[in-house]
Chains A and B, each alone.
Chain A
Amino acid sequence: MKQHIPVLLASSILLTACASNPSHPQDPLEPMNRVIFQFNDKADHYVMKPAAEGYRFITPQPVRTSVGNFFNNLQDVYSMLNHGLQLEPRKTLTDLLRVSFNSTFGIFGLIDIATPMGLPREPATLGDTMAHYGWKNSNYLVLPLFGPSTIRDGLGTAANLTIADQNDLVFRTESDATAAAVLNGISRREKLLGMEDTLQQAALDPYSYMRDAYLQYRNRQVGFQPSSQPQDNSPQEDNIDDLVGPEAEAPAASQPVATAPGNAEASAAQ
């Protein structure tokens, strides 16, 4: 299982040929991405989500927090390496102190004592490092099981998994590391329980909603500003005035609330 993930990732990245006339400039791989999105959706519905719900059911919150902290602590080791590669001495030192304190006084990372000490967690991935050195514009890529990503970040993830998986740092045997990877996945999914309903409720097309939200989020994170599309509504952009006259807001503002009360009631009663 574990060896297969990098292969899957690599093959999905290598399948970067096709697609014409993309509906989003950063998504030339849309046909393939949609297929993987569908697969993930099914996998989530039948495996990940039930597993996360079961996990939430059988574990109390403090246990789940500790599990999350434990994996975050392993990830902090990679953040430290990446901040180092980015020549960010202060952040590298922060990560080093975080890992040191949390791995010792924090009992193998189960307790995050570094954050209250004033050492904020700031994850950095290999993708961030590649973006730092200039690869800011990267096309959208949906990874099997991992979900929304970009070519750049997907390569980073694949490299991590093949060369130095974080669970290999602490787990000696392959099966332990695999079990840890599964637990990590379930723990991450548990934090997002309930989100899938919001997505279904909000989106006309969940695929494109997820993609556009992810790309806006990730582009801002790495400091990439798409020039062709004024989508991000950067504060400088004032072309909204071309669309709406200065006083155009008056009619709708005086309208009564259009929510169907029955629907609102039902959707919230879940």
Chain B
Amino acid sequence: MKKLLTSLMLLLGLAAPALAADEPVSLVQDTSQKALDILKKENGKNTRQVREQVESMVIPLIDFTRMTALAVGKDWRAANPTQQEQLATQFKTLLVRTYSSTMVRFKTAQIDVKPTAQFNNSGREAVVKSEVTIPGSADKKNVSIDYTLYKGSQGWKIFNVSVEGASLVTVYRTQFGEEIRKNGIDGLIKQLKDKNEGVKPA
């Protein structure tokens, strides 16, 4: 009996680091903390330098190809590799620009990353949950933000983000699908490109 227990303990002890259960959690935790520290230090200045600092930290942790595939849905298969690459590039530009210009709003935010991730897909996919509080706002309500990560050859990367259950990625699926139905995949690439290039300086 004792032997069994010991071997069980050993097994668990060996299995735990092998699964590296906390890796996605610490990734999200560390990155969000560092990003907040930058925003806080710069005291909400929305300069190019601040944005670049945060972007250079966050962007490498995001798998934009996978993210774009998720946004496009089943039509992704119909796109050839060049089209896929163009789609991913344009989608990335759109997302980066949208969110980097709004991020200073979160300079006072407090992020509580939940210590346990939910693993799916035989341990290759992880959902990390977090609660964000923004003390300055009138509603002192917590906002739940979930990150979905995937373990690829370059380690864990984020490919989906949900705010209160609404995915910032799949929210594009209908829009993309409509455009692909009307003008094909190249039509969507063109539309994204036009949007990215057509934003007038404020």
Contacts and interface: CB of A to CB of B under 8 A. Distances in A.
A2 B166 CA distance: 33
Nearest to A214: B166
Contacts of A264: 48, 51, 96-97, 100-101
Contacts of B76: 243-244
B122 to A, nearest CB: 9
Nearest to B181: A23
Interface stretch (A10-18, A96-104, A176-184, A199-207): A199-207
B51 A268 contact: yes
B97 A267 contact: yes
Interface stretch (B5-13, B106-114, B148-156): B148-156
For chain A, the bracket of interface size reads 35 or more
B89 A216 contact: no
A42 interface: no
A266 B102 CA distance: 13
A202 B163 CA distance: 15
For chain B, the bracket of interface size reads 35 or more
A217 B143 CA distance: 12
Contacts of B98: 198, 201-202
Contacts of A235: 118, 120, 125, 127, 148
B14 to A, nearest CB: 25
Contacts of B17: none
B70 interface: yes
A23 B174 contact: yes
B2 interface: no
A216 B174 contact: no
Interface of A: 23-24, 64-65, 68-69, 112, 115, 121, 191, 194, 198, 201-205, 208-209, 211-214, 216-217, 219-221, 231-233, 235-236, 238, 240-244, 246-253, 255, 257-270
24 contacts: A68-B138, A191-B139, A203-B175, A204-B192, A212-B170, A212-B171, A212-B174, A216-B166, A217-B163, A217-B166, A220-B166, A221-B165, A233-B167, A235-B118, A235-B148, A244-B69, A249-B157, A253-B65, A253-B157, A255-B89, A257-B55, A257-B56, A263-B199, A266-B201
